[in-house]
Amino acid sequence: MLLAKGAGTPNQSSGMTVHAPKLLTPEEFASLIEVAVTSPNPKIPAPHLTKLINLGYVVVTVKGPVVTGDGLIRITESE
């Protein structure tokens, strides 16, 4: 269940990063790895890049897409 920002119980932490491995399809996960190993010019579908950015696994810099710390954690969680 997803809660709107600010919703929930008073004891609930709002600044915690939640890792949800199920959010990526196998193809999207492969795209995350592709960014990690071929940055700055990965050949991945635009919708995959958009999703990876929205999940905080990738950021786009002047040098191209780069995997974030959360993205690296996501990769290692699947090993």
pLDDT digits (tens, 9 = 90+) for 26-57: 999 999 999 999 867 889 999 999 999 999 99
50-74 burial code (b ≥16 CB/10 A, e <16): ebbeebebbeeeeeebebeeebeeb
Q: Is residue 39 assigned to a domain?
A: yes
Residue 13 has pLDDT above 90, yes or no: no
Pair 39, 66: CB distance under 8 Å: yes
Instruction: Output 9 or 63, whichever has higher pLDDT.
Output: 63
Share of residues in the chain with pLDDT > 70 (%): 70
- Find the angle CA(9)-CA(14)-CA(17) to the nearest 5 degrees: 130
How many angstroms separate the CA atoms of 35 and 52, rounded?
A: 10
Q: Count structural domains, the chain.
A: 1
Confidence of residue 18 (pLDDT cuts 50, 70, 90): low
Q: Is residue 10 part of a domain?
A: no
pLDDT of residue 21: 52
Q: Residue 27 sits in which domain range? A: 21-77
